[in-house]
Amino acid sequence: MPRLAFLGPQATFAQQALLSLPESRDAELLPYAGSTAALAAVRSGEADAACVPFENSVEGGVPAVLDSLVCDPPLVIVREVLLAVEFAVMVRPGTTAADVRTVASHPHGEAQTRHWLAANLPAAEVKMSSSTAEAAAQVARGEVDAAVAAPLAARTHGLTILAEDVADNAAAVTRFVLVCPPGPPPAPTSVDRTTLAATTENRPGALLSVLTELAVRDIDLTRIESRPIKGLRNEYWFHLDCTGHVAQPAMGEALAALHRRCLRVRYLGSYPRALEPANGISATADKVAGLGDARPRSLEPVNGNSPEPVNGNSADRFVAAARWLDGVRAGSQA
């Protein structure tokens, strides 16, 4: 029986996203206290895969997940789910709005309801929790007066909904990803996404050279953001989403070129894109099959020579890049 980890406890949006996937059928679902803990369970072998929040249409990427995915051992994304999130304010039975002095939620939940809370519960202190469902559990335990969470959490914990549909942006969507150890990627479809992260030397035009490798092959870049490399001042991982699949020639060429020119490239998966937010089964292009070291891999260049990755056109870099791409396509490298 597959063991699937998720950001817990019960009744989180992550659990709802996981339950929409066919992979969850006949699987053992394992809640973890945080996204990094869920990913660590996959790395340690406690779980076969993990469903974690990856990006929100209001707040952007989830920092803890982005940072964890570039640590070792490698993990790759094999599936994504878009979930239209609905927030409610919930309290213990008998509690009124005038009684609320503290409100708890996940940071992304708080960010998406900040204006509603300021307008309707201006005297309440807002506290952060590891998940929206954990915030509801805190209310049930009497630790806080109210929580901003999914309506399902109120039913799970025996709470009363004080207000519904409290999101500042009713069209907000959260993207969740299913992550597992490296293996052969899902088969290409007509609408795929490839996710990767890269580091470059700090020089003028370094990021432009990365983007150029995508642009000249007509690869659409759909997301880019940076995250600081822990312990290295002024050094960053650039996280990118592109349309296409690693099995396709253009994407393969682009990844090999980035492997030659960047200090480090981490392939994070090629998988079917979710086409729209879904209630129940996710709409995707196809139906597909602790932390290790908290520091990133060494930033030594891939060819093991000088720490300055000149122009990436030397013969040994072409050989190393081709070998790496073969490993990525076979599922033995990331």
Secondary structure of residue 303 in the 3-state scheme: coil
Inter-residue contact 112 to 172 (CB < 8 Å) = yes
pLDDT of 279: 55
Q: Can you state the angle between helices 315-330 and 249-261, rounded to 10 degrees?
A: 130
pLDDT of 253: 95
pLDDT of 109: 92
Q: Report the candidate in 37, 9, 6, 5 with the shortest Cα–Cα distance to residue 137.
A: 9
Side chain identity at 113, as an amino acid letter?
Answer: T
Give dist(CA 141, CA 150) in Å, integer: 18
* Token couple for 333: 């490298």
pLDDT of 148: 97
Give dist(CA 72, CA 39) in Å, integer: 11
Residue 27 phi/psi, 5° resolution? -105, 155
Give dist(CA 214, CA 2) in Å, integer: 36
Q: Please, what is the end-to-end C-alpha distance for the chain in angstroms?
A: 26
Q: Which residues of the chain have pLDDT under 70?
A: 278-313
**Domains, the chain, ordered by start:** 3-84+173-330 (3.30.70.260), 88-164 (3.40.190.10)
Give dist(CA 132, CA 90) in Å, integer: 11
Residue 218 phi/psi, 5° resolution? 60, 40
pLDDT of 278: 57
pLDDT in tens, 112-145: 999 999 999 999 999 999 999 999 999 999 999 9
